[in-house]
A = this chain, B = another copy of it.
Amino acid sequence: MFKHDKKLLHEVKVDAPNQNYAAMLQEQLGGPQGELKVALQYLSQSFRIKDPQIRDLFLDIASEELSHMEMIATTINMLNGHVPDANNATIGNIEAHVLTGLTPVLSNASGYLWTAAYINETGDLAADILSNIAAEQRAKVVYEYLYRQINDKGVRDTIDFLLNREEAHNTMFREAFNRIQDTGSLKDWGITKDSKLYFNLSTPGDQFFNADNPQPASFNNPNQSTH
Task: Give the CA-CA distance A85 to B174 in the complex, in Å.
Answer: 32
CB <8 Å contact, B178 and A218: yes
**Range of interface residues on A (Cβ < 8 Å):** 35 or more
Q: Tell me if A155 is interfacial: C-beta within 8 Å of chain B.
A: no
CB <8 Å contact, A168 and B196: yes
Distance of A41 from chain B, by nearest CB (Å): 9
Given contacts A106-B116, A191-B223, contact A4 B203 (CB under 8 A): yes
| Among candidates B99, B116, B141, B192, residue contacting A115 with C-beta atoms closer than 8 Å | B116
Given contacts A3-B201, A172-B209, contact A112 B115 (CB under 8 A): no
CB <8 Å contact, A47 and B174: no
Given contacts A4-B59, A110-B111, A219-B217, contact A102 B48 (CB under 8 A): yes
Q: Tell me if A56 is interfacial: C-beta within 8 Å of chain B.
A: yes
CB <8 Å contact, A120 and B211: no
Task: Give the CA-CA distance A148 to B85 in the complex, in Å.
Answer: 9
Query: Could you say how many copies of this chain the assembly holds?
Result: 6
Task: Give the CA-CA distance A142 to B94 in the complex, in Å.
Answer: 13
Q: Tell me if A160 is interfacial: C-beta within 8 Å of chain B.
A: yes
Instruction: List the B residue with the shortest CB-CB distance to A21.
Output: B87
Chain A 172-199 near chain B by CB (<8 Å), digits 1 or 0: 1011111001100111111110111111
- Report which residue of A93, A122, A187, A194 has the largest number of chain B beta carbons within 10 angstroms of its beta carbon: A122
Distance of A51 from chain B, by nearest CB (Å): 10
Chain B residues within an 8 Å CB radius of A38: none
Supply 10 A–B pairs (Cβ within 8 Å), ascending by A: A27-B95, A44-B104, A48-B102, A53-B209, A91-B94, A101-B123, A113-B116, A122-B141, A189-B227, A195-B223
